[in-house]
Chains A and B, each alone.
Chain A
Amino acid sequence: MLKTIFAAALAVVALVATSGHAAEGEKLDHVAVDITDLASLQSGARTFVNYCLNCHSASLVRYNALRQIGLTDEQIKDNLMFTAEKIGMPMSIAMAPGDAKVWFGSVPPDLSVVARSRGPDWLYTYLRGFYRDPQTPTGWNNMVYPNVGMPHALWRLQGERVLKEQEALREGKPILGEDGKPRKVVTLVAVSPGTQSVAQYDKTVYDLVNFLTWMGEPNQLARKQIGVWVLFGLAVLILLTYLLKRAYWKDVH
């Protein structure tokens, strides 16, 4: 009886553990972020302020928060601070929301906590999923977020790609679908190269996603480091209170 209930509870726990950010249809590429990699975070910060921080704000983050990823005030002021006067000011932008709505169809969201709502995998796949599409107002479309209002901000780095429908092949032979016809797959094909190779571009996006993940919760590293000590302290307290309980309960039969 109790065993079954425990089993049911375990099943629920397993369910919780395996579920993550919801992916809508599109299969996402997995990315293992590492917010202890300061070089990667700094590179991501550079990409962020140069390419994102024109249309997107990060108004819940102050410039001086970048000290936490190993930068000095001078480095921040000279290289990264383009939209503020003082280092304690937030990463806001000059574009008015009303204008943005007219230009892009919707206001570009603030990116302070975007990594917490979308998750790193979604961001990594999304930023590598743009392609040329003459039918959209911006001329760009996206595999993960169809008909997104955002143009490909990093296109000079990645280059231009287009959708191509091909017959799916396995060992040189077409794969047949359930209806007996050859199954089609949609792939992206490069039509003009960017300044970065595929591997370089993937690394740029990785660094950017890494930075966004850090920015979503700057205290997450400290949280885990403190957590280890808290668990250690509690383990000692468990032992002491257990011995105390045993000593008091000696005479209960």
Chain B
Amino acid sequence: MANGTATKAHWAQQLFEWIDARFPLSAVWKSQVSEYYAPKNFNFWYYFGSLALVVLVLQIVSGIFLTMNYKPDAGLAFASVEYIMREVSWGWLIRYLHSTGASAFFICVYLHMFRALLYGSYRKPRELTWLLGVFIFLCLMAEGFFGYLLPWGQMSYWGAQVIVNLFGAIPLVGEQLAIWIRGDYVIGDATLNRFFAFHVIAVPLVLLGIIVAHLIALHETGSNNPDGVEIKKTIDPQTGHPADGIPFHPYYTVKDLFGVMVFLLVFAVIVFFAPEVGGYFLEHNNFIPADPLKTPPHIAPVWYFTPYYSVLRATTDELKWVIGIAVVLFMLWALVRRGSNKTRTVLLGIGVVLLAGLFLLQAKVWGVLLMGTSVVIFAFLPWLDRSPVKSIRYKGWMFKLALFLFVVSFFVLGYLGMQVPTTTLTRIAQVCTVIYFAFFLLMPWYTSIDKTEPEPERLT
């Protein structure tokens, strides 16, 4: 066999041809990777999509190994986690990879979303990619919430208790609904078992499906870029490809590979040297086994939920007055705006319903509504942003200021959500809640009057 390698290559080629005759393997590879043209000017913010994908794989793999030793039983769960930490070979590493990965997932996704805010990636024609992304974010929150109960520590237990009790605030059906979710009158073994089922199979299955759809939608429209200019507008006549585009493979595969290594370095520093991150990634009180009879003096969710938790706590009777004033202003605007009488009637109707809700529903119910809205409101961005340009590079000072205030209030709300509330802190949280919602609700106004610079024809 002097011609060994040639025969082998021939054999491999034959295999690919065999597959291609039955499955579009090379066609998918070409259309999605090697001949998917991406803008050549991706910057730092564009690493986080691929990094989120890496963390997803890490969570699935480490999760599978955790499942091999974890016991979803109220009597055994806490000890089984410590069994993994102590007795299972490399169990401590698997567990820390998973616990750090949970926080890393949210960091990557938050930065990925922030990139979209910076460069208008949610704008036409990528609305569906954005909507699927918001759906991923919701699933991720559900995944994090269900998973957090599993170690069965005090914070697991009481965090779940607080969140499930929120459903009890819904008028008429709330109490029954909460019992239906828990499968018990308090968080118990039944709850742990169903949360385990949701965490290890139900939510990941949905999550994987939407992530695939998110990528397919993205590759249909093509990626946005820091200039917010569509690269498909300028096709190179010689190649027939976008003049400012480069094939995803090998250019972005090697670039993202470098990004992954840098990310893993930061990740490893946490996993190996500070896996608790001062009580933020692994809370101190979660090393006390769950005790239904001992309510901890201070219950705080994990950091990635705290901004929304802050919104919930900030919604007091006083904040209802602020909402009331906002609704009245909205109705006045509906009266004076140009447009059909039909639209006006609908808008005024919405206002009346909201005002009636303010009278009828307690602040607690409004808190739950606002907390839910503070997450879901991201889905409306494609239609709230009326700016003629996509990227912050060409937007005016009003958008820049609004985004800055939004980011600051997001961080402040996140911090306050971990603290014991005081009168002053609640007041600050209320101010930040108003800023948070104003960023979205006033966006149609400030983006349409903002002075923008003209977008360039090509990438800069």
Inter-chain contact B279/A238, CB cutoff 8 Å: no
User: Is B321 in the interface zone, CB < 8 Å from A?
Assistant: no
Stretch at the interface among B58-66, B122-130, B172-180, B266-274: B266-274
A16-67 contacts to B (CB < 8 Å): 16-22, 24, 59-62, 65
Q: How far is the CA of A241 from the CA of B275 in the complex (A)?
A: 26
Known contacts A113-B287, A231-B265; decide if A16 and B86 are in contact (CB<8 Å). no
- List of B residues within 8 angstroms of A238 by Cβ: 258, 261-262, 265
Contacts of A117 in B (CB 8 A): 284-288
Q: Is the CB of B278 within 8 A of A19?
A: yes
Q: How many residues of B contact A (CB 8 A)?
A: 50
Given contacts A5-B404, A116-B287, contact A234 B264 (CB under 8 A): yes
The reply to whether A252 and B269 form a contact with Cβ atoms under 8 Å apart is: no
A241-B411 Cα distance, complex, nearest whole Å: 33
Among B79, B85, B272, B288, which residue has its beta carbon within 8 angstroms of that of A226? Answer: B272
Cβ A119 vs Cβ B284 within 8 A: yes
Q: Is the CB of B258 within 8 A of A223?
A: no
Name the A residues within 8 Å of B96 (CB-CB): 223
Q: Which residue of A lies closest to B281 (CB)?
A: A16
Q: Within B273-295, which residues are at the interface with A (CB < 8 Å)? A: 273, 275-280, 284-289
Cβ of B255 under 8 Å from chain A: yes
- The verdict on B254 contacting chain A, using a C-beta distance below 8 Å, is yes
Q: How far is the CB of B119 from chain A (nearest CB, A)?
A: 12
Interchain CB contact (< 8 A) of B278 among A5, A17, A218: A17
A8 touches B272 (CB 8 A): no
Total count of chain A residues near the partner, CB < 8 A: 52
Contact A16 to B277, CB < 8 A, known contacts A218-B86, A234-B268: yes
Task: State the total of A-B contacts with C-beta under 8 angstroms.
Answer: 116
Top 5 closest A-B pairs, CB basis? A227-B272, A117-B287, A116-B287, A241-B258, A60-B82
Can you list 16 residue pairs at the A/B interface with Cβ under 8 Å? A5-B407, A8-B411, A21-B279, A60-B83, A62-B87, A217-B85, A223-B93, A224-B272, A227-B268, A231-B269, A234-B264, A235-B265, A241-B261, A244-B258, A248-B250, A248-B251
Further pairs besides A8-B407, A238-B265, A244-B254: 9, Cβ < 8 Å: A16-B278, A114-B287, A117-B288, A224-B272, A227-B271, A234-B265, A242-B258, A248-B254, A249-B251
A binding-site residues for B, Cβ under 8 Å: 1, 4-5, 8-9, 11-12, 15-22, 24, 59-62, 65, 109-110, 112-114, 116-119, 216-219, 223-224, 226-228, 230-231, 234-235, 237-238, 241-242, 244-245, 248-249, 252
